[in-house]
Amino acid sequence: MRGGGGGGWGGGNNGNRKIHWVSWEKVIAPKEEGGLGVGSIRALNIGLIVKWWWRLKSDPPSLWSSVVTGIQNLNGKHNLFLSNKKVPGLWNNIVNARKELSKQNINIDNIFKYVVRSGEKTSIWNNTWIGSENFRHKYPNLYAIEPNKNCSIAQKTASKQNAWQWKSCPLSLGLTQDLGSLYRDLFSSPLTPGDNHWRCKLTTDGVHFVKKIDLTSHHATQPSITWCKLAPIKVVAFIWRASLGRIPTSSTLMSRGINIPSSLCGSCVGADEQVDHLLVNCPFATYVREMIFTWCGICPPTIIGVSELIQFAATWGNCMKQRRRFIVICYGLLWGIWKFRNDRIFNGTFTTPSRGVEIIKSMSFLWIKVRGSGNFCNWDEWRLSPFSVL
Ligand SMILES: [Zn+2]
């Protein structure tokens, strides 16, 4: 199973070998030590990991959910307390991610809220549907005298006289306070028509959380990566991994003992396909970069690696607006070269350098158009210069 969201760092699946392109420790390490840092965890990792939890909770019929639910014996449980160390791979990554987030005082469970509608399928005792714990744990003495321990909320809240019957009288057992508190809980959550569902508390619409997570406050101060919100998050994550040399090029695959026909760059066949070669030093990459730089009106400097290119973009010029656009373009450049390479290997599609330049121009144009705010130029102006209308 491949990681979701296009930006997962979890292990791919080649035979039984699990590959961690970037270790979790690296992900949570402080930025000064080359990691993403806590701030970036909030921005990026929550977005990616929570997406898995989200799918597990909100989309039970999906393949992903049914697999995990089956493995973990989750049926009917809405709390995410599980961790089965015997099941390797992606699942453990996700479980570990959850633990690491909790060390940062981020509780994934608190990001979601189970919204009860008709309550027909929700167990009143066993599901956590009001507050942070289920009634079974909140009112153990009442649960003990409940004759129908699996009854639904709908059954209990139907205005039938005998909806609440106990094995013994709660009042005579001294449970008056518990009973009063239980009734208050019930009344505090009026049921409404519709299906039960999970909501994500990070956003106002409760659904599209990944897009809504704000990256602006998480700019790294002296980073190898600028967390530019104008580029898609999967692209920024890719750039970050590329700067660490952690993308699955032929050369890295081979050095990890994976059996592939050749470690040579498929574009020039003149060098090992290492990350810096593929994205920066290969004649294809060099040509495309020089064309892009010329379009930007920037004299192409000598650059020998991904980190260097990123650093150059992050410190280029004096105008912040121009620099932001230039960073997006450089990210688009690297992302584009990676994409053309994958198209060639996996789809047999060849992209000429000049066509590649055009694709990168239009890709970065669309990113800024979709994500940017304020005045933006039109396509004709953009093709003339990316710094039009600034
Ligand atoms: Zn090459």
pLDDT, one tens digit for every residue, the chain (390 residues): 333 333 333 333 333 344 444 444 444 444 555 554 444 444 444 455 555 555 565 555 555 455 555 544 444 444 443 444 444 455 555 666 666 666 655 566 655 555 655 566 778 888 877 777 888 999 999 999 988 888 877 777 655 556 677 888 877 788 877 877 777 676 655 455 455 555 555 444 444 333 333 333 333 333 456 667 889 888 988 898 888 888 888 888 887 777 778 888 988 888 899 999 999 999 999 999 999 999 999 988 888 899 889 989 988 988 988 999 999 999 999 999 999 999 998 888 999 999 999 999 999 999 999 888 777 888 999 999 999 877
Task: Kindly give the distance from the C-alpha atom of residue 272 to the centroid of ligand 1, in angstroms, as a whole number.
Answer: 8
Task: Kindly give the distance from the C-alpha atom of residue 329 to the centroid of ligand 1, in angstroms, as a whole number.
Answer: 21
What count of Cα atoms within 13 Å lies in the side-chain half-sphere of residue 265?
Answer: 22
Task: Kindly give the distance from the C-alpha atom of residue 268 to the centroid of ligand 1, in angstroms, as a whole number.
Answer: 4
Task: Kindly give the distance from the C-alpha atom of residue 281 to the centroid of ligand 1, in angstroms, as a whole number.
Answer: 7
| Tokens 């992050």 sit on residue | 314
CA 284/CA 229 separation, integer angstroms: 28
Task: Kindly give the distance from the C-alpha atom of residue 115 to the centroid of ligand 1, in angstroms, as a whole number.
Answer: 54
Task: Kindly give the distance from the C-alpha atom of residue 284 to the centroid of ligand 1, in angstroms, as a whole number.
Answer: 7
Task: Kindly give the distance from the C-alpha atom of residue 382 to the centroid of ligand 1, in angstroms, as a whole number.
Answer: 29
pLDDT of the residue at 60: 54
Task: Kindly give the distance from the C-alpha atom of residue 120 to the centroid of ligand 1, in angstroms, as a whole number.
Answer: 61
Task: Kindly give the distance from the C-alpha atom of residue 275 to the centroid of ligand 1, in angstroms, as a whole number.
Answer: 10
Task: Kindly give the distance from the C-alpha atom of residue 354 to the centroid of ligand 1, in angstroms, as a whole number.
Answer: 17
Task: Kindly give the distance from the C-alpha atom of residue 264 to the centroid of ligand 1, in angstroms, as a whole number.
Answer: 8
pLDDT of the residue at 362: 96
Q: How far is CA 17 from CA 71, 89, 253, 286, in A?
A: 20, 10, 11, 34
Element (H, E) at 81: none
Task: Kindly give the distance from the C-alpha atom of residue 237 to the centroid of ligand 1, in angstroms, as a whole number.
Answer: 23
Specify whether the CB–CB gap between 112 and 98 falls below 8 A.
no
Task: Kindly give the distance from the C-alpha atom of residue 379 to the centroid of ligand 1, in angstroms, as a whole number.
Answer: 31
pLDDT of the residue at 373: 78
DSSP 245: T
Report the predicted TM-score, pTM, of the whole model to 2 decimal places: 0.48
Task: Kindly give the distance from the C-alpha atom of residue 265 to the centroid of ligand 1, in angstroms, as a whole number.
Answer: 5
DSSP 10: S
Task: Kindly give the distance from the C-alpha atom of residue 294 to the centroid of ligand 1, in angstroms, as a whole number.
Answer: 21
Task: Kindly give the distance from the C-alpha atom of residue 34 to the centroid of ligand 1, in angstroms, as a whole number.
Answer: 27
Task: Kindly give the distance from the C-alpha atom of residue 274 to the centroid of ligand 1, in angstroms, as a whole number.
Answer: 9
- C-alpha dihedral (241, 242, 246, 249), degrees to nearest 10: 140
Task: Kindly give the distance from the C-alpha atom of residue 279 to the centroid of ligand 1, in angstroms, as a whole number.
Answer: 9
Task: Kindly give the distance from the C-alpha atom of residue 253 to the centroid of ligand 1, in angstroms, as a whole number.
Answer: 16
Buried b (16+ CB within 10 A) or exposed e, 34-62: ebbbbbbbbbbbbbbbbbbbbbbbbeeee
Task: Kindly give the distance from the C-alpha atom of residue 23 to the centroid of ligand 1, in angstroms, as a whole number.
Answer: 27
Backbone angles phi, psi at 336, to 5 degrees: -60, -45
Task: Kindly give the distance from the C-alpha atom of residue 256 to the centroid of ligand 1, in angstroms, as a whole number.
Answer: 20
Tokens coding 196: 């039960």
Task: Kindly give the distance from the C-alpha atom of residue 367 to the centroid of ligand 1, in angstroms, as a whole number.
Answer: 27
Alpha helices in the chain (DSSP H): 24-28, 37-40, 46-58, 63-72, 90-103, 108-111, 135-138, 140-144, 153-157, 176-188, 209-212, 233-243, 250-255, 275-276, 283-296, 306-315, 320-342, 353-371, 379-384
Task: Kindly give the distance from the C-alpha atom of residue 22 to the centroid of ligand 1, in angstroms, as a whole number.
Answer: 24
pLDDT of the residue at 47: 52
Specify whether the CB–CB gap between 197 and 116 falls below 8 A.
no
Task: Kindly give the distance from the C-alpha atom of residue 326 to the centroid of ligand 1, in angstroms, as a whole number.
Answer: 25
Task: Kindly give the distance from the C-alpha atom of residue 280 to the centroid of ligand 1, in angstroms, as a whole number.
Answer: 9
Specify whether the CB–CB gap between 278 and 333 falls below 8 A.
no
Amino acid found at 359? I
CA 96/CA 104 separation, integer angstroms: 13
pLDDT of the residue at 176: 78
pLDDT of the residue at 329: 96
Task: Kindly give the distance from the C-alpha atom of residue 176 to the centroid of ligand 1, in angstroms, as a whole number.
Answer: 77
Task: Kindly give the distance from the C-alpha atom of residue 285 to the centroid of ligand 1, in angstroms, as a whole number.
Answer: 8
